[in-house]
A = this chain, B = another copy of it.
Amino acid sequence: MEYASCSTCLLKSKAVKSLGENELHILGQGCVQTVFKKGETIIKQGALSSNIIYLQTGLVKLMIDGSHRTQILRMKKAPCYLGLPTTMGDKINHYSAVALKKTTACFVDINVFKELLKISPEFSYEIIVELCKNELEQFNRYVRLVQNQIYGRLATNLLYFSNEIYLSDEFKLPLNRTELADLVCTSRETISRQLTELAEEKIIDIDGKHLRIVNKSLLEEISKKG
């Protein structure tokens, strides 16, 4: 069947399960699945895009190469959609997406995607909810990033890893110190000093990239209050 690759890639999405054979056929015709190794680029900033990307498995970092510094915007963990705002907006990718580990991505043509929205109210509702949750999550984090000083920004991002990405108080940082600085928008030296300080205060335990949050409520305090 022509929609074989699609039933592989999208059936994990609850809403897609509700699609009938006809809809799956439409989807299948505009759908390509690709596997990316760690470090490979899935979306390239500045490139024209006509695809929504459904991430089946894996973890990516979204980043912007600005005129005076590189910024890491956030992680995205499968399963999720990528590129929705960009593709619905002005068609040019505003960020790059790079795999942090082996990642399987499914490229769905935007026109096929629009067709599906019209055919399946379930599907469009799922997309809206995902977008809303996403906007809210990102918004809250960015509000804190802007209003906080570095110590608070770092706390916010460590909690982000713990609560949104790894769902655990103990994990291996997916970024080195320079990349962590690019996420927090500060310098590598400052990150290094602040991590040491958080460890001295017995709020975290850190050994290289291995990190454990010891006093989560205090870390939340710092994230909130600056």
Residues on A lying within 8 angstroms of B by beta carbon are 64, 66-69, 71, 73, 84-86, 88-90, 94, 114, 117-119, 121, 124-125, 127-129, 131-136, 138-140, 142-143, 145-147, 185, 224-226
Question: Which of B117, B145, B226 is A128 in contact with, Cβ under 8 Å?
Answer: B117
Collect the chain B residues with CB atoms within 8 Å of residue A225's CB.
67-68
Collect the chain B residues with CB atoms within 8 Å of residue A226's CB.
68
Knowing A136-B86, A142-B146, A185-B146, the reply to whether A127 touches B128 (Cβ < 8 A) is yes
Docked-complex contact B224 and A66, CB < 8 angstroms: yes
Knowing A143-B73, A224-B67, the reply to whether A124 touches B128 (Cβ < 8 A) is yes
Roughly how many angstroms separate A138 CA and B142 CA in the complex, as a whole number?
10
Closest beta carbon of chain B to A89's beta carbon, Å: 5
Docked-complex contact A121 and B131, CB < 8 angstroms: no
Docked-complex contact B114 and A125, CB < 8 angstroms: yes
Nearest 10 interchain pairs by C-beta: A88-B132, A118-B121, A85-B132, A142-B142, A124-B124, A85-B136, A85-B135, A89-B136, A145-B146, A146-B185
Report how many copies the assembly holds.
2
Knowing A117-B125, A124-B124, A135-B131, the reply to whether A143 touches B89 (Cβ < 8 A) is no
Collect the chain B residues with CB atoms within 8 Å of residue A125's CB.
114, 117-118, 124
Docked-complex contact A139 and B94, CB < 8 angstroms: yes
Roughly how many angstroms separate A147 CA and B150 CA in the complex, as a whole number?
12
Collect the chain B residues with CB atoms within 8 Å of residue A84's CB.
132
Roughly how many angstroms separate A140 CA and B185 CA in the complex, as a whole number?
15
Roughly how many angstroms separate A136 CA and B95 CA in the complex, as a whole number?
11
Roughly how many angstroms separate A64 CA and B131 CA in the complex, as a whole number?
21
Q: List 9 A-B contacts (CB under 8 A).
A: A69-B147, A85-B133, A85-B139, A88-B132, A89-B132, A89-B136, A117-B121, A131-B135, A138-B139
Roughly how many angstroms separate A93 CA and B137 CA in the complex, as a whole number?
13
